[in-house]
Amino acid sequence: MSGDTAKTKSIDVILLAASEVFQRPVAASDNFLELDGNSLKAVHIAARVEQLLEREIDLSILFDVGSFAEFAELIDEDA
């Protein structure tokens, strides 16, 4: 699988998980904290992403990045 394919899969999974948790569509450019993200929502997003990608992720990254796209990039770098 190429890096671009993995990146596309990660962002799609993250956006799906975030949309489920926030109960509305989210964009790759959206910021978790600006959407009123909190620790409970972060745990739910991380758990769903881990389930879908079948690997552990560091949920603290959600609080450090500017967008879901950046979150996906860091997850892909860590793979």
Supply the range of the domain harboring residue 11.
3-78
For residue 7, give the CATH number of its domain.
Answer: 1.10.1200.10
Count of structural domains within the chain? 1
Between CA 51 and CA 24 the distance in angstroms is: 20
Residue 22: per-residue pLDDT:
98
Residue 8: per-residue pLDDT:
61
Q: Structure tokens of 33?
A: 């904290």
Q: How confident is the prediction along the chain (79 residues), in pLDDT tens digits per residue?
A: 444 444 467 999 999 999 999 999 999 999 999 999 999 999 999 999 999 999 999 989 999 999 999 999 999 887 7
- Residue holding tokens 């609080």? 63
Residue 53: per-residue pLDDT:
94
